[in-house]
Amino acid sequence: MLFHSSIRKELARTFGATLVILITVVMTTTVIRTLGEATRGLLDPTDVMIIMGYSLLSQMPAILSFSLFLTIVSVLTRMYRDSEMVIWLGSGQGLSSLIRPLLRFAWPVFVLILTLALLVLPWASSQIEDLRDKYQKRSDVSRVEPGQFQESANGDKVFFIDKDSSNKEQGINVFMVTREGGIETVTSAGRGAVQVVDDQKRLVLENGQRVEIATDTREANFSTFERYSIKLGFDAPSARNFVPASTLPTNYLLTSNLPAHQGELVWRFGFFLAAVNVIFLGLAVSGFNPRVGRASNLVFAFMAYLVYFNMLALGKNWVETGQMPAVNLLLALHGGVLAFSLLWLTIRQNHWTLRLPARWLAGARG
C-alpha cells in the first residue's frame, strides 16, 4: 500500500537522523568519562579512542531501541499535527492497522539489536576489561613518570626517577622505597633497567646504595652495591583475575544457573524485548494536542523510556541478588509493558472513555 510505503520511508529518514544525534551525544559523554579514567591512572591514555569505540558498541542496543522509540513517536505525532492521521482514521482504518508497517520497518533493527546484545556486547566488554587489566599489569618501571612518585603494581614499592630515558625499560637516577616483612628499604641507584633473568622480569640497578630499617626497632643497615636485582610485580601479562559476567559469551551464560549470570542474560535479552515493546508503546502514546505544545509527546516518550530502562537495570540487580527469578522478571516487566501498551492502544482504537454513573451526575447537579 502506498500509504504504508510512505510511512516506512519517513520512519527510515527520521530513524537515521535520530540515530546520528544519539550516537554523537553518547560519544561525547563516553570520551569525557574515558578521559577522566585515564587521568586517574585507570586506563592507558593511548587507548582512549579504542576504549571509546568498544564502549559505543556495548551501548548500541540501548541507543537503537531508544532511537526506534523516538522515531515512531515523532513521525506519528507529525501525522497527527498535519491531519494525515485524521484522513487515515476517517477512511475506516484504525490505529492497529499501523502495526504491520511499523513492524516491517523495525524488524531489521530487531535483528541488529539481538545480534549486538548477544554477541557484540560481551566481546566489546571483554576487550575493554583486557585493556584495563593489561595497563594495570604493565611493568613497574613503565609506570614511573619522570619527576613523579608512582606506586608499583602490587602496592609494596614506590618508584621515582630523576629524568626520562629513551628506553621505556630503563631509568636514570632511580629511587625506590620497599616495605616487606617488617623491613623498610630505601634504595637509590644511578641507573636501572628491566632484564629477563631465569624467565622472570627483574629490575637490575647499578651503582647504588640501600638502607634497611626495621619498622619495630628502627635499626638501620647501610650497604652499597654495584649491581642489585629486584623482582617486578608481574612476570608477564596473564589472564584477568576476575571475569565479570558482562564479558562472558551468551552460550556460556545459558548453561549457568548462577544469579549473576542469569541477571546478565536478563539484561541482554531485555534490549530486544524492549525494542519490540516500544513499537506498541510508541503507537499508543503518539498524538498531538495544540494546547500543550509540539514537544510534549517527545518529552513524555523520553521519560517513559527512561523509566523503562531504569526498571530493566533494577530488574537485573534483583536477579543478580536472588530477589526474583529471571523468568518472573521477564514476564513481569516486559510482559507488563506489553499488556499496558496493548490495553492503551485498544482504548484509543475503540474510543473508550470513563463515564460517571447518571445518578452521580444527577446528584452533583442537584
Q: Do the domain assignments include residue 361? A: no
Kindly state whether residues 97 and 192 are assigned to the same domain.
Answer: no
Is pLDDT at 346 greater than 70 in this prediction? yes
- In this predicted structure, the answer to whether residue 245 has a pLDDT above a threshold of 70 is yes
**Average pLDDT of span 62-75:** 90
Do 98 and 192 lie in a common domain? no
pLDDT at 156: 67
pLDDT of 119 reads 93
- Inside any domain, residue 181: yes
Owning domain of residue 326:
2-136+242-350
**pLDDT at 111 > cutoff 90:** yes
Tell me whether residue 146 is in a domain: yes
| 247 and 305 inside one domain | yes
* The pLDDT of residue 177 is above 50: yes
- Phi and psi at residue 51, in whole multiples of 5°? -65, -35
Tens digits of per-residue pLDDT, 250-307?
999 988 889 999 999 999 999 999 999 999 988 888 766 656 566 666 777 788 888 9
What total of structural domains would you count in the chain? 2
pTM assigned to the model: 0.73
- Mean pLDDT across the chain, nearest whole number? 79
Same domain (yes/no): 76, 147: no
Same domain, 131 and 271: yes
Mark which of 231, 253, 268 sits at the end of a domain.
231
Q: Is 59 among the domain residues?
A: yes
Q: Which pLDDT value is given to residue 247?
A: 87
Average pLDDT in the 5-28 region? 89
Q: Do residues 178 and 214 both lie within one domain?
A: yes
Q: Is the pLDDT of residue 100 over 90?
A: no
Q: Looking at the structure, do residues 17 and 130 belong to the same domain, yes or no?
A: yes
* Co-location of 123 and 156 in the same domain: no
Residue that terminates a domain, selected from 231, 265, 293: 231
Confidence label for 45 from pLDDT (cuts 50, 70 and 90): confident
Range scoring the smallest mean pLDDT among 30-34, 46-50, 143-147, 181-185: 143-147
**Inside any domain, residue 299:** yes
Residue 360 in any domain: the answer is: no
What is the rounded CA–CA span in Å between residue 315 and residue 309?
10
Q: Are 111 and 62 found together in one domain?
A: yes
Asked whether residue 276 falls in the same domain as residue 307, the answer is: yes
In a domain, 236, yes or no: no
- Mean pLDDT over 162-191 rounds to 73
Same domain, 164 and 248: no
CB 109 within 8 A of CB 278: no
Query: Model confidence over 313-338: pLDDT tens digits?
Result: 999 999 998 898 999 999 999 999 99
Regarding whether 152 and 9 lie in a shared domain, the answer is: no
Question: pLDDT tens digit string along 193-237?
Answer: 767 666 666 777 888 888 888 877 778 888 888 888 776 554 444
**Does residue 357 sit within a domain?**
no
